[in-house]
Amino acid sequence: MTTDRIIFSRPFRASRELSNLEAVLGSDHSHGDGRFTASATAKLKEITAAPHALLTTSCTHALELSALLLELGPEDEVIVPSFAFTSAATSVALRGATCVFVDIDEESGNIDPDSVAAAITDRTKAVVVMHYGGVAADMTRLLALSELHGIALIEDNAHGLGGSWQGRKLGTIGTLGTQSFHDTKNVHCGEGGALLLSDEILMGRAEIMREKGTNRARFLRGQVDKYSWQDIGSSYLPSELNAAVLDAQLDEFESIQAQRHRVWDTYAAQLPEWAERTGARLMTVPEDREHTAHMFFVRMPSEASRDGLIRHLAQQGIVAPFHYIPLDSSPAGLKYSRTPVPCTRSARFSATILRLPLWPMLTESQLGRVVDAVSAYA
């Protein structure tokens, strides 16, 4: 076994991170809403074309802030894909609302519009739409359902910064959009997130909720002479240290994306013959969508063959993990939700998926090793 271990993900290091951090530490302002918060927010708005953006301490907190803004309560239901990260569900459960888990489209891993349509009731207040792997969900049908029934769409765009659907940037298509800047994401600040909005009224209230329910942001802008408690809220504002790292990362967004697409494109070009031979299915992207090269997943014919490939790659010093366990089958999912129809496609997807190493600094030699190791598995 080789000692040159190829890990699944490695955080990118931007060139200005240390100088930005030194600037913050040398100043009298290391809490949030300083110059790096403003700069990173402006860059994020440029990348996403969002009218409004608020940095948060995580995508989880951005989802929780979304739930607060929509005033979710015990009488409400929110439709959530079973194949998703837990934050999509906990943000709903924290408000006392009921998660209604539905199945996915097995080709993409994204929420299935037919399952959404079947799960809508007079209690449905929102649908959480995760763009899995940075590939847009079927927004045509989801937007139609939203308009028909008057329900909100919350885009969990943790994987999709810079991605698009029919020319529209992900995270700005629904009612609210959330971003993640966790260190496993394309752009990161260790831990961080953002809320994207287009509605002026929601933006005004979100700014207050993010600052412990106060109008402190307006005070800092000189719009009021003192600030006070205005609404419910929490401490969702990241420190200026996190914003400084994020600002440096966003400066190099195009370069990061180019290198990630280099890796993604290599897998897409060199593994089809192996996939046809073994019955594996490779990740694909519809023509009307621009993906983010956040991940490259492979679907194996069975759970046994998936686990076998993971072991085979591990023997070659290559880390290739599976992904989410379906939420509808989890202990908390059984407690805080209902599942109208068994999510069988989510279960199959979860049992057969693995993800290949994908980060900008992967060398051609390392990339070749991954391709060769996968291709040798029969």
Residue 11, in any domain of the structure: no
Mean pLDDT for 71-95 is 97
Model confidence at 270, pLDDT cuts 50, 70, 90, reads very high
In the three-class reduction of DSSP (H, G, I as helix; E, B as strand; rest coil), residue 25 is classed as helix
Residues 147 and 276 in one domain: no
Residue carrying the six token digits 């959530």 = 80
> Per the domain annotation, does 10 fall within a domain?
no
Do residues 306 and 300 make contact, with C-beta atoms less than 8 angstroms apart? yes
* Tokens at 323, concatenated: 């992904």
* Residue 41 in domain: yes
51: CATH: 3.40.640.10
Q: What is the DSSP string of 200-267?
A: HHHHHHHHHHHBTTB-HHHHHTTSSSS--B-S---B-PPPHHHHHHHHHHHHTHHHHHHHHHHHHHHH
- 93 and 189 fall within a common domain: yes
Predicted pLDDT at 36: 98
| Cα–Cα distance for residue pair 33/219, rounded to 1 Å | 12
210-255 tens-digit pLDDT:
999 999 999 988 999 999 999 999 999 999 999 999 999 999 999 9
SS3 199: coil
In degrees and rounded to multiples of 5, residue 175 shows phi and psi of -70, -40
187 CB neighbour count, 10 Å cutoff: 28
DSSP secondary structure of 127-157: EEEE-GGG----HHHHHHHHHHHT-EEEEE-
| pLDDT value, residue 55 | 98
- Give the global pTM: 0.96
For residue 3, the model assigns a pLDDT of 58
Contact between residue 68 and residue 54 where contact means Cβ atoms under 8 Å apart: no
CA dist 267 and 354 (Å) reads 13
117 and 216 within one domain: yes
What proportions of the chain, in percent to the nearest 5, are helix, strand and coil?
A: 40, 15, 40
Q: Are residues 286 and 192 in the same domain?
A: no
| Cα–Cα distance measured from residue 106 to residue 226, given in angstroms and rounded to the nearest whole number | 53
What is the average per-residue pLDDT within 7-15? 97
CA dist 287 and 295 (Å) reads 18
What strands, in cross-sheet order, belong to the sheet with 176-180? 52-56, 193-197, 176-180, 152-156, 124-130, 77-81, 98-102, 337-338
**Does residue 24 lie within any of the structural domains?**
yes
- What is the pLDDT, as a whole number, of residue 1? 45
| 70 and 216 share one domain | yes
**Does 76 share its domain with 225?**
yes
Could you tell me if residue 3 is inside a domain? no
Beta bridge partners of 127: 79, 153
199 and 123 in one domain? yes
Pair 120, 71 in one domain = yes
Taking the C-alpha atoms of residue 113 and residue 247, their distance in angstroms, rounded to an integer, is 36
CA–CA distance, 46 with 211 (Å, rounded to integer): 24
12 within a domain of the structure (yes/no): no
- Tens digit of each residue's pLDDT (9 = 90 or more) over 199-213: 999 999 999 999 999
- The answer to whether residue 152 sits within a structural domain is yes
Give the CATH number, domain containing residue 321.
3.90.1150.10
Residue 164 and residue 143 share a domain: yes
Answer yes or no: do 272 and 198 share one domain: no
Mark which of 251, 274, 298 sits at the end of a domain.
251
The parent domain of residue 165 ranges over 17-251
Among residues 197, 228, 251, the one where a domain terminates is 251
Domain count, the chain: 2
Domain end: 203, 227, 251, which one?
Answer: 251
Where does the pLDDT of residue 350 fall: very low under 50, low under 70, confident under 90, or very high at 90 and above? very high
pLDDT of residue 220: 87
Got the DSSP string for 286-349?
-TTEE------EEE-SSHHHHHHHHHHHHHTTB-----PPPGGGSHHHHHHEE-SS--HHHHHH
Is pLDDT above 80 for 165?
yes
% pLDDT > 90, the chain: 98
